[in-house]
């Protein structure tokens, strides 16, 4: 049976640290729901109510657009190895744009200044509910390692190529919502 918690407890930290992938879910009242897998050891627990992940450039930027418009974010981890379990972190989030003072500060304090090639923003989630459930229906998989494709792609693009790609593919959601990734799109809430 599912259990709910008011904060991230030590057993939750330990469970999250053992996972190789997590999933993010965002939406607005009128948008499509976005569900994305994340990996590459990008997730950091900042305190009992705050987590952050280093978000890499991808084919879209739905989460940033949804967070800008609505703010709700759910993160989910599930055990593919060992004992079954699912853990969800619910709350409200915002993005820190690459190059901003807040981004640089968090990159230093939480990520030891280890910025992956292709990094575009850090997403910060303020957790208001933690929920665990059995995970009995999640199949077992063996972890074989990280795929090099995304990092290799970003390195090959270079800074100028990544900027052009983000302007073409990451400035608006598939529903036309602005992501706030570029200065000309930002408002006082970014």
* H or E stretch covering 28: none
Query: Hunting for tokens 């948008």 — which residue is that?
Result: 31
SS3 label, residue 70:
coil
The region of weakest confidence among 34-38, 45-49, 180-184 is 180-184
**Which DSSP string corresponds to 29-62?**
SSSPPEEEEE-TT-EEEEETTEEEEEEEP-S--H
Q: Which two tokens stand for residue 129?
A: 């509910």
Would you kindly state where each structural domain of the chain is located, as residue ranges? 3-136+146-174
| Amino acid 184: pLDDT | 54
- Determine contact, residues 141/84, Cβ cutoff 8 Å: no
Tell which CATH classification among 1.10.10.10, 2.30.110.10, 3.90.230.10, 3.90.79.10 matches the domain 3-136+146-174.
Answer: 2.30.110.10
93-102 tens-digit pLDDT: 999 999 999 9
Average pLDDT over residues 29-35: 96
Instruction: Give the model confidence (pLDDT) of 106-152 as tens digits.
Output: 999 999 999 999 999 999 999 999 999 999 999 999 999 999 999 99
Q: Quick one: which H or E segment has residue 81?
A: none
pLDDT of residue 12: 98
Distances (CA, A) of 17 to 6, 39, 80, 142, 153: 19, 12, 13, 16, 27
* pLDDT tens-digit map of 151-189: 999 999 999 999 999 999 999 999 999 999 986 555 433
- The confidence score (pLDDT) of residue 40 equals 76
Dump pLDDT digits (tens) for 61-94: 999 999 999 999 999 999 999 999 999 999 999 9
Residue 188: its pLDDT value, please?
Answer: 36
pLDDT at 187: 44
CA-closest candidate to residue 8, choices 41, 38, 54, 45:
45
Q: How far apart are the first and last CA of the chain?
A: 38
């Amino acid at each position: 049976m599912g259990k709910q918690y008011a904060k991230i407890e030590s057993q939750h930290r330990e469970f999250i640290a053992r996972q190789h992938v997590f999933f993010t879910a965002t939406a607005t009242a009128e948008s499509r729901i976005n569900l994305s897998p994340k990996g590459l050891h990008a997730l950091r627990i900042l305190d009992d109510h705050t987590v952050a992940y280093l978000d890499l450039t991808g084919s879209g930027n739905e989460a940033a657009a949804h967070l800008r418009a609505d703010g709700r974010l759910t993160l989910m981890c599930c055990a593919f190895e060992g004992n079954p379990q699912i853990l969800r972190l619910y709350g409200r989030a915002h993005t820190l744009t690459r190059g901003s003072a807040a981004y640089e500060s968090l990159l230093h304090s939480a990520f030891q200044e280890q910025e992956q090639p292709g990094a575009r923003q850090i997403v910060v989630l303020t957790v208001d509910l933690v929920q665990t459930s059995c995970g009995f229906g999640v199949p077992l998989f063996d972890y074989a390692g990280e795929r090099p494709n995304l990092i290799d792609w970003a390195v090959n693009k270079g800074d100028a190529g990544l900027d052009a790609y983000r302007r073409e593919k990451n400035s608006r959601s598939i529903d036309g919502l602005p992501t706030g990734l570029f200065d000309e799109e930002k408002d006082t809430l970014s």
